[in-house]
Amino acid sequence: MTFPGETNWSLFTLLDKHRLSLREAAGVTLESRHGPFVASQSCEISSTDVLRRIENVIEDVITSLSRNEAPVLILNNRSNWGNIQFTDSAGLQMTSTGNCTTRKIRSDCPKSAPKFALFLKILSIIYKMVQTNIYATKRDIFYTDTAHFGNQRVVDDITNDISCMLKIPRRSLHILSTSKGCIAGNLSYVEEDGTKVNCSCSTTVAVPSNVEGMRNLITEAKFILIVEKDATFQRLLDDNFCSKMSPCIIITSMSFEAHRLTVPAIRWLGLLPSDFDRLSIPKTALIPLTKQDQSKLDSLNTRPYIAYQSAWKKELDIMATCKMKAEIQALTYFSSDYLSRVYLPNKLQFGGWI
């Protein structure tokens, strides 16, 4: 199937119904659905609120010390999938039932005391950054004291714990991702410094590190396609996918923070395990599961919310049975432009996402 010239969106019934249901759920009226989407700065937690939440943590520490008690930090256990729930309205999130299992970082325990100190150190760094309205990457924070942090993962884990404990997105803590990624398509916006940006279909634009600073977003896109790999992103650009399927937006996945992709609007187009037989992809184009893959698959099947997602469970079962996986590049077995010319247009028109 090819889509020369302007796309006839009347054919894309399932995608259009899905798009409209999402917009209506977000409070966009039917009367406004045909015009371009215009967004101002997103609603975010104020700096005052961020500072106050950090102050509350420090006040608890001081209160414990004043009582001659050893301060303790209590965190929701992010590694326990029993603490995670999936809802159609919010996607994946920590359970709000109050039954979350927790873990403690004690200041009087030789094993956890160093982490307790580093936790307060990073809280101090964040507090100063929010106060002075400056931003830094996690890598920048690591280099403020490499001797005590030891390695980058220590900083990564603590910043994620802080974000979870304070219930504040990492960007609102003024901590940025190292990677930016690229974006192309039907989108224009104004950067934090006032620069006007137009993401045309013939060029790519680097996504700003501080996406919260983007404002006046304007688009008529029918969908946003998130692409995992740069090579696939470039392949779609070379195939003029953005123009053929206009209006749309494509973006590399490294432009996003994984822990913030917990929104129900995201759908997995593929390559799905059920596509292996449906498309008759030869075994020579598939990749056997490694021990690490099998371990990950087993872990996914034990997560409580999977039992309530039949489509997800079906794909996991197929993968467990065939013990194979596939990269999106497997579609080049049919032709170099099969992904942009056949696979994605058919998925968008007839559904088949989960």
Please confirm, yes or no, whether 143 is among the known catalytic residues. Answer: yes
- The pair phi, psi for residue 180, each rounded to 5°, is -105, -50
Whether 173 contacts 131, CB under 8 Å: no
Give CA–CA dist 237/249, Å, rounded: 11
Cβ neighbours of 64 (radius 10 Å) = 14
Would you give the DSSP letter of residue 267?
-
Name the residue among 252, 261, 180, 189 with its Cα closest to residue 218.
189
Instruction: Single out the catalytic residue among 127, 135, 143, 189.
Output: 143
102 forms beta bridges with 76
Question: Residue 62: in which H helix or E strand, if any?
Answer: helix 47-66
- How many residues are present in the chain? 354
Give CA–CA dist 56/58, Å, rounded: 5
- The pair phi, psi for residue 233, each rounded to 5°, is -55, -50
First to last CA, the chain: 22
What is the 3 state secondary structure string of 270-291?
CCCCCHHHHCCCCHHHCEECCH
Q: Is the dihedral of CA 17, 19, 25, 27 positive or negative?
A: negative
Question: Residue 350: in which H helix or E strand, if any?
Answer: helix 344-350
Query: Which residues are part of the catalytic machinery?
Result: 143
